[in-house]
Structure 1
Amino acid sequence: MEHQQNLQFASDLRTVFNRLIKKIRKESPTGQTFSFTERSTMGLLYEHKALLPSELAAMEMITNQSMSQVLNHLFEMGYIIRIPSATDKRKVNISLSEEGEKIFLQFKNERDEWLLNAIEKTCTPEEKELLKKIIVPFTKLVEFK
């Protein structure tokens, strides 16, 4: 019985997270023009400054071929730049272009502003403190392999 209750808890948690993520995506007009993988790839490039396509593919858990398609699309739109490796001429580092960084920060800000507004309007001070405390355990879940 306890296992079944825990399984239901896990299901409820997954459902509410999925709904929240979908809601946040919808609240960013700029972000809606990109696929989930394109937004995530731009986020990784913003965080790490430069990565190899194979590193991006591994981080996104997609094939190198799929990442190549993502990068080609972002390159065509002018949001990434390709920089030949100084140590290995066969490799190319990927970075956000100035325009790519600008657009990434725009849709990141749109999502963050919406979420902050939603928290401010719907949560009590106690609930806000609870949300702050659960960031650590949720981070552990995200990093679990």
Structure 2
Amino acid sequence: MSKRDEYEKRTEDLLLPIIEANHYELVDVEYVKEGSNWYLRAYIDKEGGITVDDCEIVSRALGEILDKEDFIDSAYILEVSSPGLGRPLKKERDFERSLGDEVEVRTYKAIDKQKEFVGILKAYDKYSVTLAFEDNTEMNIARADIALIRLAFDF
């Protein structure tokens, strides 16, 4: 397990009791370097959406625990936020919740001369996702070929 994976897992373990106590959902935890800074990000959600106050509650509680545990070697910036409208589907529950919703899929390499697809998430399993399109056709895409899958949104 890489340090990054270890930091994300330990943070998730510390975060879950805070999340559950406040009736939120943990969407994701990521530890990433952007420019010269490291960021530890927690994405949370709840029915009706997350507010700035919700993020502050979680950030303060998690910050105190992280200061005590002190398991991350380098300096980092802690951020707690909503996953946003175009949230990526990463975990099993994300796929389950999004069945029947319109999703955007980007692939690493072209499939039939195309790398972006928008359709209804009809099915998924460990190895593939199935999209249904307006013309009543379906497409099965291997999950290993997917660079990004997220909820689609129109403005």
Q: Which has the higher strand share?
A: 2
TM-score with structure 2 length normalisation?
Answer: 0.24
Larger radius of gyration: 1
TM-score with structure 1 length normalisation?
Answer: 0.25
Identify which of structures 1 and 2 has the higher relative contact order when contacts are C-alpha pairs closer than 8 Å and 6+ apart: 1
